[in-house]
Amino acid sequence: MSKILEVKAKVEAGKTKLIAGLVQEALDEGIKAEDILQAMVDSMGVVGDKFSTGEIFVPEMLIAAKAMAKGVEVLKPLMASDSASSLGTCIIGTVAGDLHDIGKNLVSMMVESAGFKMVDLGVDVPAQKFVDAIKENENVTLVACSGLLTTTMPALKEAVETIKASGLAVKVIVGGAPVTPEYAAEIGADGYAPDAGSAAVKAKELVTA
Amino acid sequence: MLTIRQNLMETIKGGSPDRFVNQYEFMEIIMEAPMGTFVTPGQIVKNEWGITFSWPEGQLGGFPVHDAEHKVLKDICEWRKYVKAPAVNTSDEAWAAAVEHANAVDRNEKFVTPFVAPGIFEMTHHLMGMEDALMALYEEPEAMHELIDYLTEYELAYAKELISRLHPDALFHHDDWGSQISSFVAPEMFEEFFVPAYKKIYGFYKENGVELIVHHSDTFGANLVPSMIEMGIDIWQGVMTTNNTPELIKKYGPQITFMGDLDSGKIDFPGWTPEIIAEHVERACKTCGKLYFIPNLTQGLNFSSFPGVYEETTAAIDRMSKEMF
């Protein structure tokens, strides 16, 4: 198996303790850092798809993302500062009144693996804070808002409306257990994803369209 | 007319119930047993394991706090250094209210049912955070097995005291094993790490006179039902509609009863109406049927988050009993 295919396979299998060595070996063989990174991004795409279809579960996804992060650490000194986040910056947070963070954290991890720089505002984030974060950070292309409770659906709506009303040129993606594609469209979001795997796919699609 | 207890047994044994078991009516839940500190609205508390919980005003529940300062278990490989089980309270005074409550119950009518929470899975992520807990199952499986064994020993020590004091008929045990759309871990991983622990715990209760194990997990968990049966669960409370409850009843009915199918998130919200509740209750009762099913809000106790919802749901189930029995 070529070294780059091995890197790909080990990221997918979540071999966190092996990946740094493998990435170094791939570099030593003369493979470009950018190509190794792309292989890992592709791996995480496969992981995301498998999570979306129920073939794998949260631990497998977490461990794969951790493996990729360890590989990226080896590559970073060799790459232009922003090339690991070529899709821009994504602001992410759980909306006001909602303290759930597990789903949001998984989405953050997967969206980062797809090539975004993440700025995580945490939980219970007021609508205006999303807007402030867009202004305070460079090259923000996407905002991801999460809401898990039926009771915080109005806060999700307020967050999307506030971001859109600011006139800032960013895409907004929403998700969370009670959110449907219809509701996402109704409140003016640009995209919706039902889980972390498809969130990464949708995020990329929104900013490259 | 059957007693509440008889009607429950007819329902879960596939006999001839004369009405729907109505939500939590068969359980007299004993909340007074000394289980340690629980967070209440508006509080930040540290419990006896050192876990900090926060419940901001206006929220529907409390959450463990897992920033660097508050996380109890900082390195799974050194779990013995960080995790210290509290002593089980054995004073007569601490148990007096629970004993009094249990003694006041007509056991011909209802099951004396102590409430126990959190469970083994929740304890692992309360101690170390969800991400660390789930990754440790892969990265440090031996340490996780040891930690789970340690938590299990604590549960067994508590169970011993509880059984000797209350002589319960049933157990209501909480441990959420998934999100609303999937289990947190694969069935194989669940089987490896958590099923042995629960076989010990639930086996101990059953060996000591507990007739019914009612387990709460208001999540997806259809893929874990064979494990639930293996553990000795009699009733899975909190089954959400995402599980396709009618199909589960067809597949596993004689081995386990499903309690729920009325998703609290869709029913128990500020804008609830009797019509919304009636629609959900009718759907649940008609699609799930009379056996191996207990219509119930998925919330893990016998009340609702918004006033009136629990009572209206109870009334709607009574109406369906009149219509269908």
CATH code of the domain containing B294: 3.20.20.210
Percent of chain B with pLDDT over 90: 95
From the CA of B209, how many Å to the nearest CA of chain A?
37
The answer to whether position B56 is within a domain reads no
**A64 and A102 belong to one structural domain:** no
Chain B residues within an 8 Å CB radius of A54: 182
* Short-list A92, A196, A189, A190, CA closest to A144: A92
Q: Which amino acid is at B302?
A: N
Residues A12 and A63 both lie in one domain: yes
Residue B50 belongs to some domain of the structure: no
The answer to whether B147 contacts chain A (CB < 8 Å) is no
Token look-up 């508006």 returns: B42
Closest approach of A59 to chain B, Cα-based (Å): 5
Q: In terms of domains, do A37 and A98 share one?
A: no
Confidence of residue A80 (pLDDT cuts 50, 70, 90): low
Helices (H) and strands (E) in chain B, counts: 13, 10
pLDDT 10s digits, B252-309: 999 999 999 999 999 999 999 999 999 999 999 999 999 999 999 999 999 999 999 9
Q: Is the pLDDT of residue A79 over 80?
A: no
- Residues A51 and A97 grouped into a single domain: no
Q: Using a CB-CB distance cutoff of 8 angstroms, which residues of chain A are in contact with residue B266? A: 150
Proportion of chain B in helix, strand, coil states, percent, rounded to 5: 45, 15, 40
Please indicate, yes or no, if residue B58 is contained in any of the structural domains.
no
Question: CB A102 to CB B130 under 8 A?
Answer: yes
Q: How high is the pLDDT of residue B61?
A: 82
Asked whether residue A57 falls in the same domain as residue A17, the answer is yes
A100 band by pLDDT with thresholds 50, 70 and 90? confident
Nearest CA of chain B to the CA of A44: how many Å? 16
- State whether residue A53 sits within 8 Å of chain B by CB: no
What is the DSSP annotation of B7-47? HHHHHHHTS--SS---TTTTEEEE--S-------TT-EEE-
Chain A residues whose CB is inside 8 A of the B138 CB are 14, 59-60, 63
Average pLDDT score over chain A: 92
Question: Which positions in chain B touch A56 (Cβ < 8 Å)?
Answer: 186
Q: Is B59 on the interface with A (CB under 8 A)?
A: yes
Does some domain include residue B122?
Answer: yes
Q: Is the pLDDT of residue A3 over 80?
A: yes
Those residues whose C-beta lies under 8 Å from the C-beta of residue A12, and which sit 6 or more positions away, are A43, A46, A47, A64
Model confidence at B205: pLDDT above 80: yes
Looking at the DSSP bridge assignments, the partners of residue B260 are B239, B295
Amino acid identity of residue A5, one-letter, is L
Q: Is B268 contained in some domain?
A: yes
Compare CB distances from A16 to B56, B139, B265 and report the shortest one's residue.
B139
Residue B255's pLDDT is 98
Residue with tokens 């919200």: B269
pLDDT band for B201, please (50, 70, 90 cuts): very high
Q: What is the CATH number of the domain that holds A16?
A: 1.10.1240.10
Same domain, A198 and A102: yes
Please say whether the beta carbons of A88 and A119 come within 8 A: no
Do the chains contact at A151 and B60, CB–CB below 8 Å?
yes
- A27 and A94 within one domain: no
Is B135–A57 a contact, with Cβ atoms under 8 angstroms apart? no
* B60: in domain: no
For residue B219, what pLDDT is reported? 96
Residue B190 pLDDT exceeds 90: yes
Of A32, A52, A79, which residue is a domain's last?
A: A79
Count of the separate structural domains present in chain B: 1
Cβ–Cβ contact A62 with B under 8 A: yes
If asked whether residues A145 and A95 sit together in one domain, one would say yes
CB B7 within 8 A of CB B21: yes
Burial label for A164, CB within 10 Å (0-12, 13-18, 19+), is middle
Contact A62 B183 (CB under 8 A): no
Judged by CB atoms closer than 8 Å, whether chains meet at A63 and B138 is answered as yes
Band of the pLDDT at A188, cuts 50, 70, 90?
A: very high
Cβ <8 Å between A150 and B269: yes
Residues A121 and A158 occupy one common structural domain? yes
pLDDT per residue over A19-48, tens digit each?
A: 999 999 999 999 999 899 999 999 999 999
pLDDT at B59 (0 to 100): 79
- Cβ–Cβ below 8 Å for B181 and A178: no
* Domain final residue, candidates A79, A96, A120: A79
- Same domain (yes/no): A108, A192: yes
Whether the model pTM is above 0.90: yes
Q: Based on the domain organization, do A38 and A89 belong to the same domain? A: no
Q: Nearest CA to CA, how far is B63 from chain A (Å)?
A: 8
| pLDDT at res. A43 | 93
The tokens describing A123, both together, are 């939980």
Count of domains in chain A?
Answer: 2
CB spacing of A58 vs B185 below 8 angstroms: yes
Average pLDDT, chain B: 96
More confident residue, A79 or A192: A192
| Digit-coded pLDDT (tens) for B210-225 | 999 999 999 999 999 9
What is the extent of the structural domain holding B258? 4-37+67-324
CA distance B92 to B89: 9
For residue range B34-70, list pLDDT tens digits in order. Answer: 999 999 999 999 999 999 999 888 777 888 999 889 9
Residue B52 lies in a domain: no
Helix (H) or strand (E) holding B258: strand B257-262
At A78 the pLDDT is 84
Give A80→chain B minimum CA distance, Å: 30
Flag whether pLDDT at A83 surpasses 70: no
> What's the pLDDT at B224?
98
Q: Does B244 touch chain A (CB under 8 A)?
A: no
Residue A97 pLDDT: 86
* Predicted-assembly ipTM surpassing the 0.95 threshold: no
pLDDT (tens digit, 9 = 90+) per residue, A125-142? Answer: 999 999 999 999 999 999
* B204 membership: H or E segment, kind and range: helix B195-207
Nearest to B184 among A16, A57, A99 (CB): A57
Question: If DSSP codes are grouped into helix, strand and coil, which group holds residue B236?
Answer: strand
CATH number of A101's domain: 3.40.50.280
The minimal CB distance from B182 to the residues A57, A105, A149 is found for A57
Distance CA B159, CA B19 (A): 33
DSSP state of B230: H
Q: How far is A102 from chain B (nearest CA, A)?
A: 7
Chain A CA closest to residue B270: A151
- Based on the fold, state whether residues A115 and A179 are members of the same structural domain: yes
What is the distance in angstroms between the Cα of A137 and the nearest Cα belonging to chain B?
24
Whether B44 maps to a domain, the answer reads: no
pLDDT for A99 equals 83
Among the partner residues A59, A102, A105, nearest to B137 by beta-carbon distance: A59
Structural domain range at position A73: 3-79
B77 touches chain A (CB under 8 A): no
- Tens digit of each residue's pLDDT (9 = 90 or more) over A146-183: 998 888 889 999 999 999 999 999 999 999 988 999 99
Domain boundary among A18, A50, A79: A79
Cβ pair B63:A99 closer than 8 A: yes
Secondary structure in 3-state letters for chain A: CCHHHHHHHHHHCCCCCCHHHHHHHHHHCCCCHHHHHHHHHHHHHHHHHHHHCCCCCHHHHHHHHHHHHHHHHHHHHHCCCCHHHCCCEEEEEEECCCCCCHHHHHHHHHHHHCCCEEEECCCCECHHHHHHHHHHCCCEEEEEEECCCHHHHHHHHHHHHHHHHCCCCCEEEEECCCCCHHHHHHCCCCEECCCHHHHHHHHHHHHHC
